[in-house]
Amino acid sequence: MGSSSVTRMASGVRYEGRFINPEAYAAYLQGVEHEARSEFSEALSAYLDAHAEDPDSPEIWARIGSTRCSASEPKAGPDAAKAAFERGLAIDSAYYGNYLERARCAERAGNFPSALPDAMAAVARRPDDEAANLLVARSLQALGRNAEARAWLEAYRSYHAATVATERALESARAASSSARPAAPSGEQSASSARSAAFAELRSGRTERARQQAQIELEADPSNADAWIATLVACDALHDDPCFDATISRLQTPSLSPSGTALGYLRELLARRAGVPVTF
């Protein structure tokens, strides 16, 4: 047990981190094995042993909280795990795991108003994490915010290769959004309907074509907020910072508020770049 810096290599990238002694690793791995088998008493004992060897680990508190939650009745889980998650966040509020596990515990209890902000906090700290993004979408759907869940997943999907879990979640969100959407009056556009063809390109993974389409739309109508958001998302996905910076100053006073689809993409974009959960 110690606090000196240790250099590790992962996928060819060098990382500096705390020294963790072998006893802590061994106890932690025993806890993971027991937890995977739903042997929660044994898992908790192993995690507490790991904590005794490595008291500065927020990861261990996340596992202790998860185990205490799983060992309890669903409704009692959040209270049983509360202290562990708070201890982990007190050690390192930038670590995503305690937010994610607390959100999962709230989801298990059916408390989606609590699960959603924690899931979004986890995404803000680790935007690529699939489990956290899917939990955001499930929470939004459980709260009846189907169009937002669909937009969130479409935004996430535009940055990542398809997985079975993401595609199934997106299919479910699209179906729920479509069935819940009321028919728009004649001549009136639905508030959730995107006003940029670029979003279809983003959903299909054609990011460069999405940027070109959005820029064409923005040139034609500098007040098109949807085209502006689509341009920002595409520039960010392409890691084109000059494009992103140039787009920031281009929007004129919007002719219409952004659609629900565009707002979903904007939430994910801001969470990714700002590193904090965003709600509006």
pLDDT digits (tens, 9 = 90+) for 18-37: 556 778 879 999 999 999 99
- Condensed to tens digits (0 to 9), the pLDDT of residues 96-137 reads 999 999 999 999 999 999 999 999 999 989 988 999 999 999
pLDDT at position 280, please? 46
- pLDDT at residue number 258: 84
- CB atoms under 10 Å from CB of 247, counted, come to 24
Find out whether 35 and 51 touch, Cβ atoms under 8 Å. Answer: no
More confident position, 175 or 273: 175
Q: Is the pLDDT of residue 83 over 50?
A: yes
d(CA 150, CA 265): 10
- pLDDT attached to residue 115: 95
- Angle at which helices 58-70 and 77-91 pack, to 10 degrees? 180
Report all structural domains of the chain as residue ranges with CATH numbers, in order of start.
20-110 (1.25.40.10)
- What was the pLDDT predicted at 20? 65
In tens, the pLDDT along 130-157 reads 999 999 999 999 999 888 888 888 888 8
**pLDDT of residue 17 exceeding 70:** no
Residues 205-237: tens digit of each pLDDT = 888 988 998 888 888 788 888 889 999 999 988
| 251-256 contacts at long range (C-beta below 8 A, 24 or more positions apart) | 251/218, 251/222, 251/223, 251/225, 252/222, 252/223, 253/223, 254/223, 254/224, 254/225, 254/228, 255/221, 255/223, 255/224, 255/225, 256/195, 256/225
Using an 8 Å Cβ cutoff, are 146 and 173 in contact? yes
For residue 23, the number of C-alpha atoms closer than 13 Å in the C-beta half-sphere is 10
pLDDT digits (tens, 9 = 90+) for 38-82: 999 999 999 999 999 889 899 999 999 999 999 999 999 999 999
Residue 1: band (very low, low, confident or very high) from pLDDT cuts 50, 70, 90? very low
Residue type, 204: S
Comparing 88 with 146, the larger pLDDT belongs to: 88
Token pair recorded at residue 167? 């595609």
- What's the pLDDT score for residue 180? 57
pLDDT score at 14: 52
pTM for the full predicted model: 0.65
Residue given tokens 């006003």 in the structure block:
195
Residues in the chain: 280
**Using one digit for the tens of pLDDT, what is the confidence trace for 164-191?**
898 889 888 888 877 755 444 433 344 4
Structure tokens at 183: 């028919």
